Amino acid sequence: MNKGALLYEGKGKKLFLTEDENLLVSEFKDDLTAFNAEKKGNEAGKGALNCKISTQLFHLLEKHGIQTHLVKTLDDTHQLIKKVKIIPIEVVVRNIATGSLAKRLGIKDGTVLPFTLVEFYYKDDALGDPIINDEHCLLLNLVKSESDLEELKRLGREINVIMKSFFAERKLKLVDFKVEFGVDTEGNILLSDEISPDSCRFWDMDTNEKLDKDRFRQGLGDVKVAYEEVLKRILAH
């Protein structure tokens, strides 16, 4: 499958057209951003690591019945994916309070939540991706109906159950993560975008060491080492 014209460039990936109108090529970039792109960076090899990590996790989820946009991996940094219409909602799933949740609601950082929390954020850079509720989603016509929102929540929770136990076996706490979904030509809701240490928080089970994008955002260093460690643990077993 040949990489055609550039269709879209985001913070972490570029999307290219292919000769098949239903398929795109996704290229994982080395760029890193933090807090609405106010801090930018670049970590050579990060794109390849995220591509490998995301491919493994999408395969894991497919195996458990979650439909995804992934067709196949082409090389270290490229995936062939189904073309979908991205639903402009970031679905954030949380097991432990940290980041914006801890700050916004004054919950002590690191508090284990009494139940899995699912939140919606409006994917709009200019507005700074604000948190929104179900009615905002309907008001803005981000989905067709309330049942789509229920489906997004169900999928977020199911992905969490699968990944939380997968990572627990690998001595990593899945603190929280963000997923995006798209609608294919037949109207199916498919898991899209990526799942990687750019979009998840992973803390070491024993030491709580951060093995994700927070290493970059908080200036902890060794970003690539941390991402390599996550991939190593995914591939272990």
Select 122 or 205, whichever has its Cβ closest to ligand UDP.
122
Select 59 or 103, whichever has its Cβ closest to ligand UDP.
103
Considering only 69, 78, 201, 215, the residue that binds ligand UDP (CB under 6 A) is 201
Considering only 49, 84, 199, 216, the residue that binds ligand UDP (CB under 6 A) is 199
Select 18 or 90, whichever has its Cβ closest to ligand UDP.
90
Geometric angle at alpha carbon 62, from 58 and 64, rounded to 5°: 120
CB of 143 to ligand UDP, least distance (A): 19
Q: What is the Cα–Cα distance from 49 to 222, expressed in whole angstroms?
A: 14
Considering only 20, 43, 129, 204, the residue that binds ligand UDP (CB under 6 A) is 129
Q: What is the DSSP string of 183-231?
A: E-TT--EEEES--STTTEEEEETTT--B-STHHHHTT---HHHHHHHHH
CB of 42 to ligand UDP, least distance (A): 18
DSSP label of 68: B
Considering only 78, 178, 215, 233, the residue that binds ligand UDP (CB under 6 A) is 178
User: How crowded is the C-beta side of 210, counted as CA atoms within 13 Å?
Assistant: 20
Alpha helices in 25-124 (DSSP H): 46-63, 99-105
CB of 14 to ligand UDP, least distance (A): 17
Query: Quick one: 199 exposed, middle or buried, by C-beta within 10 A (0-12, 13-18, 19+)?
Result: buried
Of 105-113, 135-143, 173-181, 224-232: span binding ligand UDP (CB under 6 A): 173-181
Using Cβ positions, the residue closest to ligand UDP within the complex turns out to be: 99
Q: What is the Cα–Cα distance from 124 to 138, expressed in whole angstroms?
A: 16
What are the residues binding ligand UDP (CB under 6 A)? 35, 90, 92, 99-101, 129, 176-178, 199-201, 213
